[in-house]
Chain A
Amino acid sequence: MLPDHLLSWMIFFPLLGAGLILFVPKRYPTVMKGIALAATIPPLWWAANLYVQFDRWGTGFQYVEKVPWIRAFNIHYYLGIDGISVPMVLLTALLSFICIIASWNINEHVRGYFALFLLLDTSMKGVFCALDFFMFYVFWELMLLPMYFLIGIWGGPRKEYAAIKFFLFTLVGSVLMLVVMLVFYFGSVEPATGLHSFDLTILADQSVHQAFLRSHTIRWLCYLGLFIGFAIKIPLVPFHTWLPDAHVEAPTAISVILAGILLKMGTYGILRISYPLLPDMAREFALFAATLGLISIIYGALCAMAQTDLKKLIAYSSISHMGFVMLGMSVFSNTTAINGAVLQMFNHGTVTAMLFLLVGVIYDRAHIRDIDSFGGLAKTMPVYAGYTGLAFFAALGLPGLSSFISEALVLVGSFQQYKIITITATTGIILTAAYFLWTMQRVFLGPQNKKWADLPEISLREAFTLTPLALIVVLLGFYPMPVLDLIGATLKHTVAMVVG
Chain B
Amino acid sequence: MIPENFIQSNLQGISFIGPELILTLAILLILLVGVLLPYWRHRILFTILAVAGLAGSVLPLWKLPQPAPDLTYLSNLFVWDWLTFLSKPFFAVVGVLTILLTQVTGEIDNSEYSECTILVLAVTMGMMLLVASTDLLMIYLAFETMGILSYLLVGIRARDERSGEAALKYVLYGAFTSGTMLFGFSLLFGLAGSTDLLAISQKVAFASQHPQDRLLLIVAILFFLAGLLFKTASFPFHFWCPDVYEGAPTPITAFLSVGPKAAGFVLFIRLFYPLFATGHDATIYEAVSGLDWPSILALVSAITMTLGNLAAIHQNNLKRLLAYSSIAHAGYLLMGIVSLSDLGLRSVVFYLVVYLFMNVGAFAVVAMVASAGGSEEIDSYRGLGARAPYVCVAMAIFLFSLIGLPPFAGFVGKVYLFAAVIYKKIYWLAVVAALNTVISLYYYLRIVKAMFLEKPTETIQIQVPLSSRVLLLALLVPTLGLGIYWQPLARVVSGMF
Contacts and interface: CB of A to CB of B under 8 A. Distances in A.
A153 B392 CA distance: 15
A183 B427 contact: yes
B398 interface: no
Interface string A235-247: 0000000000000
B420 to A, nearest CB: 10
A183 B438 CA distance: 20
A167 B444 CA distance: 12
Contacts of A144: 405
Nearest to B343: A186
A71 B427 CA distance: 25
B415 interface: yes
Contacts of A179: 418, 422, 427, 430-431, 434
A346 B400 CA distance: 33
B494 A178 contact: no
Contact of A71 (B437, B442, B487): B487
Interface string B412-434: 00010011001101010011001
A149 interface: yes
B403 to A, nearest CB: 8
A185 interface: yes
Most buried by A among B415, B431, B442: B415
A168 B419 contact: no
A1 interface: no
B441 A171 contact: yes
Interface stretch (A157-165, A276-284, A428-436): A157-165
Interface residues on B, range: 20 to 34
B343 to A, nearest CB: 9
A17 interface: no
B422 A183 contact: yes
Interface string A175-204: 110110011011000000000000000000
A142 B445 CA distance: 15
A159 B453 CA distance: 8
A73 interface: yes
Interface residues on A, range: 20 to 34
Contacts of A221: 427
Given A70-B490, A160-B449, A168-B441, A178 B434 contact: yes
Contact of A152 (B411, B425, B453): B453
Contacts, number: 79
B458 interface: no
A185 B421 CA distance: 13
Given A70-B486, A186-B422, A152 B449 contact: yes
Contact of B454 (A142, A148, A160): A160
A159 B431 CA distance: 30
A65 interface: no
A301 B431 CA distance: 34
Contacts of A496: none
B452 interface: yes
Contact of B438 (A159, A171, A212): A171
Interface string A53-73: 000000000000000011111
Nearest to B406: A138
Contacts of B442: 164, 168
A212 B449 contact: no
B400 A160 contact: no
B437 A153 contact: no
A164 B491 contact: no
A73 B445 CA distance: 30
Contact of B452 (A138, A152, A212): A152
A141 B441 CA distance: 13
Interface string B309-337: 00000000000000000000000000000
B435 A172 contact: yes
A357 to B, nearest CB: 25
Contacts of B485: 69-70
A167 B446 CA distance: 12
Contacts of B453: 152-153, 159-160, 163
Interface in B215-261: none
B257 to A, nearest CB: 24
B407 A153 contact: no
A455 interface: no
A175 B494 contact: no
Contacts of A72: 487, 490-491, 494
A145 interface: yes
Contacts of B441: 167-168, 171
Contacts of A167: 441, 445
A72 B419 CA distance: 13
Contacts of B437: 171, 175
Contacts of B494: 72
Contacts of A182: 415, 418-419, 422, 430
A104 interface: no
When A and B form their complex, which 10 residue pairs have the shortest distance between CB atoms, in order from nearest? Answer: A72-B490, A175-B434, A138-B406, A182-B422, A152-B453, A141-B406, A179-B430, A70-B487, A171-B438, A175-B437
Interface of A: 69-73, 137-138, 141-142, 144-145, 148-149, 152-153, 159-160, 163-164, 167-168, 171-172, 175-176, 178-179, 182-183, 185-186, 212, 221
Given A69-B487, A179-B430, 14 more contacts: A70-B490, A72-B494, A73-B490, A138-B407, A138-B411, A145-B405, A152-B452, A164-B442, A164-B449, A168-B438, A176-B431, A176-B434, A178-B434, A186-B419
19 contacts: A69-B487, A71-B487, A138-B406, A138-B411, A141-B406, A141-B411, A145-B405, A152-B449, A160-B453, A164-B449, A167-B441, A167-B445, A168-B442, A171-B438, A175-B438, A176-B434, A178-B415, A179-B418, A186-B422
